[in-house]
Amino acid sequence: MKTKIPLLLLIFNIVFFYSQEKKTEKQIDSITTALWSSKFFNDEGLVKLTELYYQAKEIDYEEGQIRLLKRIVEIKSSYSDFISALQYLKYLKSLSLSVQQYEEYIYANCLEAKIFFMDKNYSQAKKVLNLAERYLYKIPDKEKRRKAKTEIYIYQWYNFEKSKLPKSSYADSLLSISKKLYNEAVLIENDHKRAKSVLYSTNLMVNSLILLKKYEEAVKYLKIGGQELKTFGEVTYLGVDYYEAKGDVEFNFKHYKGSSNDSALASYNKAIKIGEALGYTAKTKELYSKVAEIYREKEDYAKQALFLQKSSNLEDSIQVKENKGLNEVKSLLYANKGDVTETPSQNRTLLYFLSAVALIIIVIGGGKLYFNKKKNKIQPLEKVTSEKDPIVKTNAYNHLISLALKNDSSFYLTFLEAFPDFSEKLLNINPLMKISDIEFCAYIKLNLETKQIAIMKKISVRAVEGKKYRIRKKLGISAEENMYIWFLKL
């Protein structure tokens, strides 16, 4: 009976919500504010937010649509519903640009970067965030620009942290990013937004300082975060992060006043309680593991095993959900036509120009191939020479080569503008191809030599050859087949 009552209430709320007459902009804003609460970061909230979005769309209320789209994408991403999240993300980016709300456009790119780094494509996530930074100067309002900058720093921090490099290689970078975030956050004028950004920055700062074993400085920022938590609220995702950070300090820094395994356990358990209530499963999984470690030190092996099992169970369910979502989304995500590469006014002109170039390439290249075949002059070379390259060396082509050799962050998306079907063709062969794989294939498509790729990517020739071998395996290219010719024919 108890389970039926909330369900009936939910159905009643939804029916009531749907039955309302057309709402005004003021009403939409009021309801959106109410739905922004953490208690609506769930299916119920998603239903109401989506319905409200379409009502805002019906009356052409663009600002309301943007605000609602942000929350919808956040919830869908947290559910690993990436296909749907990317569709709404596309609307969010397009609408934000059309009304010149560049701070929202930047945030949309931050959410896209999150999907990339969840797929372990950290280099592409970094490129998307770098491209987002190019729009900061377009935001005239200082407060909004500062808020947008803090969003970029947050996602840069997580991209570094999730890359799982050796601690010595990224701990300083994490600390640097979190300090930049903190320095911007404290200047935000709006109390609630400042509390949120400062709390974010102190949580990340504490994590960074613990990695560097700078525990006394970590305690300093933990106290600052505790003050901001009073303003922002405990029963939030940031509240979970705060109590986890507090537990980490107490567990690692026994000289901190009142620190012990018991105090750390209390902090972790508080974080777990909030996390479970909010459905914050990824963080809850990590917390279970940390609690298990405390019980190991306390030699309570039964409870250690219990929490390890809890962590393992959550890990399995999260992994299945994320893998399903990411596998479904790869072709859509990786075939994205690069609308963040250039400013909106440049995109259409570049697309027309490159389409014309592609047509010239097909006509002239096809004629050259036919003539060479007739003369029997095409030989199975390890690398196609420029004389036998069916790609005409146009300015656009040379521009792509230049971007590649400079290891420019805009290369990948610019390449997809020139070869819009390239990623889709590769993903049709192997849906598990990552962006880093597709980008490497683009270098081969452009006829770049092994040594050139090694120099621009700052890796060894042997590493490039190893990458070529793995690409062959993924795409089923036999050892006897010329890799460069294979890609030129693709």
Task: Identify the DSSP state of 269.
Answer: H
Structural domain ending residue among the three candidates 267, 302, 334: 334
In this structure, the answer to whether residues 401 and 430 fall within a common structural domain is yes
What does the pLDDT read at residue 276?
87
Query: How far apart (Å, rounded) are the C-alpha atoms in residues 272 and 280?
Result: 9
Query: How far apart (Å, rounded) are the C-alpha atoms in residues 462 and 278?
Result: 48
For 381, phi then psi, to 5°, come to -85, 160
Amino acid at 303: K
Residue 440 lies in a domain: yes
In this structure, the answer to whether residues 317 and 417 fall within a common structural domain is no
Residue 23: helix, strand or coil by DSSP?
coil
Query: How far apart (Å, rounded) are the C-alpha atoms in residues 411 and 124?
Result: 11
Q: Residue 275's domain is classified under what CATH number?
A: 1.25.40
- The label of the residue with tokens 């795409």 reads 475
Instruction: State whether the Cα torsion 148-151-155-158 is positive or negative.
Output: positive
In this structure, the answer to whether residues 318 and 418 fall within a common structural domain is no
Amino acid at 55: Q
In this structure, the answer to whether residues 355 and 301 fall within a common structural domain is no
Amino acid at 296: R
What does the pLDDT read at residue 338?
42
Comparing 335 with 178, the larger pLDDT belongs to 178
In this structure, the answer to whether residues 312 and 373 fall within a common structural domain is no
What does the pLDDT read at residue 311?
83
In this structure, the answer to whether residues 329 and 407 fall within a common structural domain is no
Per-residue pLDDT reduced to its tens digit, 123-148: 888 899 998 999 999 999 999 999 99
Residue 28 lies in a domain: no
User: What does the H/E/C string look like for 78-131?
Assistant: HCCCHHHHHHHHHHHHHHHHHCCCHHHHHHHHHHHHHHHHHCCCHHHHHHHHHH
Per-residue pLDDT reduced to its tens digit, 429-450: 887 788 788 889 999 998 888 8
- The label of the residue with tokens 């938590």 reads 229
Comparing 343 with 189, the larger pLDDT belongs to 189
Position 154 pLDDT exceeds 50: yes
What does the pLDDT read at residue 166?
67
Domain count, the chain: 2
What does the pLDDT read at residue 402?
86
Please say whether the beta carbons of 231 and 215 come within 8 A: no
What does the pLDDT read at residue 342?
35
Share the mean pLDDT of the chain. Answer: 79
In this structure, the answer to whether residues 379 and 300 fall within a common structural domain is no
pTM above 0.85, yes or no: no
- The label of the residue with tokens 């490159």 reads 354
Per-residue pLDDT reduced to its tens digit, 401-419: 888 888 887 888 888 888 8
Long-range own/partner contacts, residues 22-29 (CB < 8 A, 24 or more apart) = 22/55, 22/58, 22/59, 23/52, 23/55, 23/59, 24/59, 25/56, 25/59, 25/61, 25/63, 25/64, 28/52, 28/55, 28/56, 28/61, 28/64, 29/64
Position 234 pLDDT exceeds 70: yes
Instruction: Give 340's pLDDT tier (boundaries 50, 70, 90).
Output: very low
Query: How far apart (Å, rounded) are the C-alpha atoms in residues 157 and 175?
Result: 9
Among 155, 167, 81, residue whose Cα is nearest residue 125:
155
Query: How far apart (Å, rounded) are the C-alpha atoms in residues 68 and 76?
Result: 12
Comparing 22 with 355, the larger pLDDT belongs to 22
For 269, phi then psi, to 5°, come to -65, -35
In this structure, the answer to whether residues 483 and 358 fall within a common structural domain is yes
Instruction: Give 398's pLDDT tier (boundaries 50, 70, 90).
Output: confident
Structural domain ending residue among the three candidates 334, 369, 397: 334
Residue 421: helix, strand or coil by DSSP?
coil
In this structure, the answer to whether residues 329 and 350 fall within a common structural domain is no
Question: In this structure, what token pair is assigned to residue 243?
Answer: 């109590």
In this structure, the answer to whether residues 291 and 309 fall within a common structural domain is yes
Position 219 pLDDT exceeds 80: yes
Residue 278 lies in a domain: yes
Position 378 pLDDT exceeds 80: no
What does the pLDDT read at residue 167?
62
In this structure, the answer to whether residues 349 and 324 fall within a common structural domain is no
User: What does the H/E/C string look like for 311-367?
Assistant: HHHHHHHHHHHHHHHHHHHHHHHHCCCCCCCCCHHHHHHHHHHHHHHHHHHHHHHHH
Per-residue pLDDT reduced to its tens digit, 253-305: 866 666 678 889 999 999 999 988 887 788 888 899 899 899 888 888 888 88
In this structure, the answer to whether residues 433 and 361 fall within a common structural domain is yes
Residue 179 lies in a domain: no
Among 269, 259, 271, 163, residue whose Cα is nearest residue 219:
259
Domain that holds residue 262: 234-334
Residue 347: helix, strand or coil by DSSP?
helix
